[in-house]
Amino acid sequence: MKEMSTVSNVTVAKPKKAGAISIADYGTTLPTDATSALDAAFENTGYVSEDGVTNSNSPESDNIRAWGKDIVYVINSARDDVFKFTLIESLNGTVLKAVYGSDNVTVGDNAITVKANTDDLPEKSYVIDTILRDDTLKRIVIPRGKITEVGDIVYKDEELVGYEISVTCMPDDAGNTHYEYISTESSNKAKAETTEG
């Protein structure tokens, strides 16, 4: 039986109130559902810009043509899985360590020191928690991600200082670049208040 068009399947995505994006060292135990508590090693990055999170996951292909120009075969040549978002808590030590590397950021009682250099950023694990319609929870888990691009950092009146970053997902041991978990439980409203679920 074919599915009918259903309005309740149409949704927007909002961040969890306690922050949508959490980061931990690669190898940290990962969640396998949308509601369970995150491992204590995950640190929250706080507010994200109003542009939210964008996932680029389109395959690239090469068309093989026959004599006469007809396409007779398509070869999938690549499928980059990239998440882009702007972290706007520029005074958050977790954010600064993500952008510059943990070894290059020192957070003291009343001071933060950042060293900008060409050190290679390590692979990290990312969790993105969102709330869909009717308190449906969706969690995106990136087991193995690496920041491959940081946008221009602008310092000016009436504009937030933010870090626009692109995280490129690499396959895990099972060959998957990210996972998506969705929960429609009736108890989700309370769980949506915190990042830990």
pLDDT tens readout for residues 7-59: 788 787 888 777 899 999 999 999 999 999 999 999 999 999 999 999 987 66
Note whether residue 33 is domain-resident: yes
Of all residues in the chain, the percent with pLDDT exceeding 70 is: 88
Note whether residue 1 is domain-resident: no
Domain of 56, in residue numbers: 7-191
The predicted pLDDT at position 192 comes to 64
pLDDT tens digits along 147-172: 999 999 999 998 999 999 999 999 99
Q: Which helix (H) or strand (E) holds 95?
A: helix 93-100
Note whether residue 141 is domain-resident: yes
Mean pLDDT, rounded, of the chain? 88
Cβ atoms of residues 126 and 145 within 8 Å = yes
Confidence of residue 77 (pLDDT cuts 50, 70, 90): low
How many Cα neighbours within 13 Å face the side chain of 192? 20
Cβ atoms of residues 164 and 84 within 8 Å = yes
The predicted pLDDT at position 190 comes to 60
Note whether residue 197 is domain-resident: no
pTM: 0.84
Lookup: tokens for 68? 């006469």
The predicted pLDDT at position 68 comes to 79
Higher pLDDT, 18 or 176: 176
On the question of pLDDT at 194 being above 70, the answer is no
On the question of pLDDT at 60 being above 70, the answer is no
Note whether residue 124 is domain-resident: yes
Pick from 68-82, 89-103, 119-133: least confident: 68-82
Number of domains comprising the chain: 1
Note whether residue 95 is domain-resident: yes
Q: What is the dihedral of CA 10, 134, 18, 81, to 10 degrees?
A: -30
Note whether residue 163 is domain-resident: yes
Q: Which residue has 């915190």 as its token pair?
A: 194
Pick from 15-19, 53-57, 105-109, 136-140: least confident: 15-19
Of all residues in the chain, the percent with pLDDT exceeding 90 is: 67
Cα–Cα distance list, 138 to 45, 51, 145, 165, 191 (Å) = 18, 18, 19, 21, 12
**Start-to-end C-alpha separation, the chain:** 36
Strands 82-87 and 54-56: antiparallel
On the question of pLDDT at 81 being above 60, the answer is yes
Note whether residue 2 is domain-resident: no
Confidence of residue 195 (pLDDT cuts 50, 70, 90): very low
